[in-house]
Chain A
Amino acid sequence: MSALLEVRGVSRFFGGLAALSDVSFSLEQGEILGLIGPNGAGKTTMFNCVNGFYPPSRGEVFFKGERISGLKPYQICQRGMARTFQVVRPLQRMSTLDNVVASAFLRAKSRHAAVEKAEEILKFTNLWEVRDMLSKGLPLGLRKRLEIARALATEPELLLLDEACAGLNPSELDESIAIIRRIKERGITIMIIEHHMKVIMSISDRIVVLNYGQKLAEGTPEQISRNPQVIEAYLGEGE
């Protein structure tokens, strides 16, 4: 199986600061890759480079064999990659349903099809009950799920989840993990940034660890949890 996503030697500079330094890894289809690291390690920056928010200063990103570094986010989304944001960004004055319809239009040929798709996704993510509520009235847990629902409506092959579980209470957490597993069952590949160690360890197939913008380690959850450098990097961190 050829890699779905390939990150080759990606660096990203802001002024004189290197947020990412020569990071390389790849993602196989069907797996869940966890991206972890202390605060400021460059995880969201990596997402932004992969997703097209800004191009890497150096290095390249390949998706399905095609070079995507330098393309705009909507072009990358059209090619099958969707993302959620760490600080949720609902389309506030639209209802939950409309939020998802808006993104379903990417693949849907007609409004009818888009609404159908959106309704299916809302049921899949357990948001059916609040479909008519204005998204700015949703509590945080549901807003996080709306982020995921919107991304799913674009029928991605790769889903980038940026801290989809941050700030959730234990029952919301369980539900989110269940949804993520269901997404994997649908055949969607996932790359997830997360601080909740338990979440990452339990759902990831593999993990990449970043620290100060560099790749510190890569491996299975077991290997990572025993890696002395990783432990040291996290020493003093909560969780």
Chain B
Amino acid sequence: MQRYAPLAVAALLALVPFLGLSSYLMHIFILVIMWAIIGMAWNLLGGFTGLVSFGHAAFFGLGAYCAAIVYHHFAWSGWWGLPLSVVVVALFSLVMGFVVLRLRGPYFNLSTLAIGEVLRVTAQNLDKLTQGDLGILLSQRTWTEKQNYYWVVLLLALGTYYAVKALVGSRRGYYFVAIREDQDAAESLGINTTLNKTISLTVSGVLTGIAGAFYFNYMGYIDPKVVFDLPGISILAIMIVMVGGAATLTGPLVGSVIMVLLAEWVRSIPKLGAAHMSVFGVLLILMIIFLPNGLVGDFGKIRKLFRRKEAA
């Protein structure tokens, strides 16, 4: 029964476009699902393998620009960006891995942050290729209605979910967690830590890159400040996983729903709108201190809190 739960959920979600929701609400749904993909991808590297990346925007933006450049310079459909991003981001991940995976702890975290920022500044400066800060505009979107985009992203999310699930349940999953818990001990037990960290990084990057390529095709416009944004992409990815629960399969899904809805809600409040970053910051701080394992991870803690209230 439990095995089919994800498929059942997906089937239900697939029916959403038939509810006749407004374009705005469909947009929210699409964002939630897209961020669920990014969250699951980040979680593979950060939650399961323990390599906390502060620069996932690098993969997202790279994927987005694959689609955008292919459209802008070769006049192909932006959708070719999706398969292309797999190749490009995979290669990039290998090179990036060679540089950063040898680093431990904070050195690793900071270097991922640096790489995200390097790509942003590079995209801003290489204007022959990327149009710099002007960005790239998709003059004709594939579909005018939102529903087809919705089904595409839903399919991508389903694929991501099963890919991550398969990986985590396999020998790789054990190796990832072993590396997270104690890298040296894992190495002594015959685990090729370099290889496995590279696999985790590459899969995580590629999945995020696909989301980025989708983003270009869906939004129809990207520029470096948006797709390589540190707080808007990289930190948001971390927050989604933290809020939902790291190293769980459903955590990123829960986190994505909460964070995207929260963002929209805060933005819509008249006075508070511009302060949504502060709200996020405060939320992040509170989460870290009180619910460090996220809602799914610290579910037990939350239940206890409610039980105590009832008893009183």
Contact = CB atoms under 8 A, between A and B. Distances in A.
Asked if the two chains touch in their complex, CB atoms less than 8 Å apart, one says: yes
Interface string A46-74: 00000101000000000000000000111
Interface residues of A, number: 28
A89 B184 CA distance: 9
Contacts of B278: none
Contact of A82 (B169, B178, B189): B189
Contacts of A82: 188-190
Contacts, number: 72
B177 A77 contact: no
A130 interface: no
A102 B175 contact: yes
A150 B174 contact: no
B264 interface: no
Residue from A78, A89, A150 whose CB has the most chain B CB atoms within 10 Å: A89
A91 B184 CA distance: 11
Interface in B181-207: 181-182, 184-193
A109 to B, nearest CB: 10
B140 interface: no
Contact of A105 (B169, B175, B182, B187): B175
A123 interface: no
29 contacts: A51-B188, A53-B184, A53-B188, A72-B187, A72-B192, A73-B188, A74-B187, A74-B188, A77-B188, A77-B190, A82-B190, A85-B185, A89-B182, A89-B184, A90-B185, A91-B177, A91-B178, A102-B174, A102-B189, A102-B191, A103-B189, A105-B174, A105-B175, A106-B190, A111-B169, A111-B171, A114-B171, A150-B185, A154-B190
Given A102-B174, A106-B191, 15 more contacts: A74-B187, A74-B191, A77-B188, A82-B188, A89-B184, A91-B186, A92-B181, A92-B182, A98-B174, A105-B171, A106-B189, A111-B169, A111-B171, A114-B171, A153-B189
| Cβ-closest 6 pairs across A and B | A77-B190, A91-B181, A106-B190, A103-B189, A89-B185, A102-B174
